[in-house]
Amino acid sequence: MEKAIFLETERLIIKQTTLEDLDNLCVLQSDNEVMKYVGKGVRTPAEVKHWLEQAFLHHQRHGFSFGSLFEKESGNFIGQGGMMYFDYDDTQPDIEVGYRLSKNYWNKGYATELSKASIAWGFKNLNVNKLTAFINPENEKSRRVLDKVGMNYIGKIKCFNTEVERYEIDRNNI
Ligand SMILES: CC(C)(COP(=O)(O)OP(=O)(O)OC[C@H]1O[C@@H](n2cnc3c(N)ncnc32)[C@H](O)[C@@H]1OP(=O)(O)O)[C@@H](O)C(=O)NCCC(=O)NCCS
């Protein structure tokens, strides 16, 4: 099945996540290091499938989502990234930028490249004045990415009983 492309950067392609990605997503989300600061940590195949379905439907509804990420040079699946309404809940206003890469692809600047492109796409195509990101306070790698793309630290908030840090970028500040 030809998948919808959400976004292309110099080195990456984000495609709509489909069931074809399930095996790759299960491997990614069963890695303790990758999932250390994501939600409750590693996910079972049933949980992965649940979130895959949320991402797929979100793309159908809104034309963007947390998609499957491929490296152009190799064609390899390398993780997930993009944007979605916070917790896939489009009854609230926050749209968040997110990324989750397989370890072999860390420290190549991919999350930064992806986030910059997502932010640019968001402000061009969505009627929003700000985009958000949420991180576990201990996730220094992710914080570094947010700093590099110009996201501003807003403060700590409680999210599903866990403390997270909220970042925002304003349309007028890019
Ligand atoms: C967070 C994550 C997406 C970063 O992806 P990445 O492609 O490696 O990020 P980039 O290469 O664009 O940037 C990494 C930067 O962090 C820096 N970095 C790496 N480890 C670091 C650390 N422990 N503390 C601070 N900075 C660190 C790198 O030096 C690099 O900065 P530089 O470009 O100035 O040298 C990746 O580590 C990941 O997928 N982690 C697991 C999932 C996750 O936590 N997702 C975020 C949830 S909010």
Cβ of 106 below 6 Å from ligand 1? yes
More confident residue, 25 or 3: 25
Cβ of 108 below 6 Å from ligand 1? yes
Separation of alpha carbons 21 and 49, rounded Å: 10
Cβ of 117 below 6 Å from ligand 1? no
Alpha carbon of 145 to ligand 1 centroid (Å): 6
Superfamily of domain 5-123: Gcn5-related N-acetyltransferase (GNAT) (3.40.630.30)
Confidence class for position 1, pLDDT limits 50, 70, 90? low
Cβ of 111 below 6 Å from ligand 1? yes
DSSP letters spanning the chain: -PPPEEEE-SSEEEE---GGGHHHHHHHTT-HHHHTTSTTSS--HHHHHHHHHHHHHHHHHHS--EEEEEETTT--EEEEEEEEEGGG-TTS--EEEEEEE-GGGTTSSHHHHHHHHHHHHHHHHS--SEEEEEE-TT-HHHHHHHHHTT-EEEEEEEETTEEEEEEEEEGGG-
More confident residue, 22 or 159: 22
Whether the Cβ atoms of residue 134 and residue 166 lie closer than 8 Å to each other: yes
Alpha carbon of 144 to ligand 1 centroid (Å): 6
Cβ of 144 below 6 Å from ligand 1? yes
- pLDDT for 114 beyond 70: yes
User: pLDDT tens, 33-81?
Assistant: 999 999 999 999 999 999 999 999 999 999 999 999 999 999 999 999 9
Q: Ligand 1 atom closest to Cα of 81?
A: 3
Measured by CA distance, the residue closest to atom 5 of ligand 1 is: 111
Cβ of 110 below 6 Å from ligand 1? yes
Backbone angles phi, psi at 45, to 5 degrees: -55, -35
Cβ of 11 below 6 Å from ligand 1? no
pTM of the full structure: 0.94
